[in-house]
Amino acid sequence: MSYRKFGYFTTGYWIEPEGKVIPVDDHFVYLLEHPEEFGIDVSEVEGITFTDKEKREEFLLKAVQNNWIRVRRTGGMSSIECWELTDWTLARIQTFCKKINAWESDMITINEIAKKNSYPIRVKDLFSEDVMRLVSSKRIDSVLRKGNIQ
């Protein structure tokens, strides 16, 4: 089954630490309905509504800190939020792109929350040998900021 079909009905996805892709209409609503999946105690979210902006930011940040990856699709662009961009995180992002049948020309922006960095990159470059080599040497930030591989 192609997850691209879900793209017409959802605004985003969660990627579990194990790599499972979960299509969602609203990231925060899903978190409130399934807090324990994110390592959050049910009592922490009791009484919180999806319109509580301050709590929304707090709990979405907790989820990302707990190694969940948040993906938002807007038009032809995906914004991917992760805590740290590591080879393990990159592998889950690559698997996600395969699952949704992302086109090679699609642009994504990877937002590394811990370091406050953003890396725009084309999907095809995400799979290049150079990106994997640079990830392992921890120099990926300079390549992803440019958005191309030299």
Domain ranges of the chain: 3-146
Task: Identify the band that residue 150 occupies on the pLDDT scale cut at 50, 70 and 90.
Answer: very low
Helix (H, G, I), strand (E, B) or coil at 140: helix
Which residues lie closer than 8 Å to 148 by C-beta, 6 or more apart? Answer: 122, 125
**In which order are the strands placed within the sheet that holds 107-112?**
21-24, 12-15, 69-74, 77-82, 107-112, 117-122
pLDDT for res 11: 73
pLDDT for res 10: 52
pTM of the model: 0.79
Hey, what amino acid is at 5?
K
pLDDT for res 141: 46
Choice between 34 and 135, residue whose per-residue pLDDT is larger: 34
Q: Tens digits of per-residue pLDDT, 29-53?
A: 999 999 999 999 999 998 888 788 8
Residues 9 and 22: beta-carbon distance below 8 Å: no
